[in-house]
């Protein structure tokens, strides 16, 4: 199929283009075809009456005009060089406050992070908050990953999306040996964005990570650190279950971060935060957190492995 011709827009002002067209219309024709105007004849008489002399004068005038135009262009803006571009970029980097890698990662994952609250009835039959944690949307139809211990035994579950929309949610899947639960929200935002997941296969200790969640119900909160190791095992404080093959990280996490995403500096989910290690009886962060690798977590929702 023949493509239409493409034209580059001129940077010359419209008035100049019109003037150029007018000059082109009024320009004298070839010398052989036009006799000298009557008002030039007197001048020609003074110059000996020779057309050759007249055209020589015109050529001289044209040369002077061309030299004037060339000089004007020479004094105009110079074309950009790579050195000019490098200097402009360096000036921007030194004068502008750019967001950190952790800030960019948090901004990317934040629309997919939800607050998870579970409720149970007390002796009087009144719903009371039983547990609170974090979840991450992995499918834009409202499918959410979180920790099983956040929702276990709940009689009702509420999730709060990034835009503030609240919805009832139900448990649709469980992977008990990894402390994972899959939730389905009944109502979802129109523009819900799911997280991007990526394999942990090429990650190494020292790679930067970010944890986003609701520690102690405050959030969404962001903390950053690095991956400390792989293949770790963790036993819950109650000693009821040991989870193996975990990612160890040092980004700050506390109760309420459970079920939230652990993401790379590209904002891609590589794990689900599931526990913290503290040798004391206090459930506070001392620098060692654990996350279930996303390869295991995704299978809990029936998603294919990487």
Catalytically active residues, by annotation: 149, 179, 258
CB atoms within 10 A of CB 279: 7
Peptide bond into 220 cis (omega under 30): yes
Buried b (16+ CB within 10 A) or exposed e, 120-149: eeeeeeeeeebbbbbbbbbbeebbbbbbbb
From residue 170, give the alpha-carbon distance in Å to each of 147, 174, 184.
Answer: 13, 11, 5
Q: What is the DSSP letter of 287?
A: S
Nearest Cα neighbor of 91 from 99, 80, 102, 83 is: 83
DSSP labels, 233-252? EEE-TTSS-EEEEEEEE-S-
Residue with tokens 């690798």: 293
Angle at which helix 38-46 crosses helix 51-74, to 10 degrees, equals 100
End-to-end CA distance of the chain: 41
Phi, psi of 5 (to 5 degrees): -65, 145
Q: Is the dihedral of CA 223, 227, 230, 232 positive or negative?
A: negative
């Amino acid at each position: 199929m023949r493509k239409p011709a493409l034209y580059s827009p001129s940077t010359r002002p419209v008035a100049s283009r019109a003037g150029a067209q007018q000059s082109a219309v009024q320009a004298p024709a070839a010398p052989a075809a036009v006799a000298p105007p009557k008002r030039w004849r007197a001048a020609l008489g003074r110059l000996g009456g020779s057309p050759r002399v007249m055209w020589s004068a015109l050529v001289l005038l044209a040369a002077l005009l061309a030299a004037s135009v060339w000089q004007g262009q020479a004094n105009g803006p110079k074309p950009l060089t790579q050195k000019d571009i490098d200097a402009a970029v360096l000036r921007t980097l030194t004068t502008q406050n750019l967001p950190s890698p952790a800030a960019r990662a948090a901004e990317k994952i934040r629309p997919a992070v939800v607050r998870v609250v579970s409720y149970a009835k007390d002796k009087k039959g009144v719903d009371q908050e039983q547990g609170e944690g974090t979840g991450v949307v992995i499918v834009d139809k409202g499918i959410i990953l979180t920790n099983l211990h956040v929702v276990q035994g709940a009689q009702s579950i509420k999730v709060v999306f990034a835009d503030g929309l609240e919805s009832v949610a139900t448990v649709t899947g469980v992977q008990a040996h990894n402390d994972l639960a899959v939730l389905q929200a009944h109502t979802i935002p129109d523009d819900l964005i799911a997280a991007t997941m990526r394999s942990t296969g090429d990650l190494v200790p020292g790679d930067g990570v970010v944890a986003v969640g609701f520690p102690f119900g405050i959030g969404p909160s962001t903390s950053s650190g690095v991956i400390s190791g792989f293949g770790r095992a963790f036993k819950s404080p109650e000693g009821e279950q040991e989870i193996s093959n975990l990612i160890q990280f040092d980004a700050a996490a506390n109760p309420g971060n459970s079920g939230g995403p652990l993401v790379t500096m590209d904002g891609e989910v590589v794990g689900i935060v599931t526990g913290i290690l503290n040798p004391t009886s206090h459930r506070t962060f001392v620098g060692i957190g654990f996350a279930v690798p996303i390869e295991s977590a995704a299978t809990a929702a029936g998603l294919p492995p990487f």
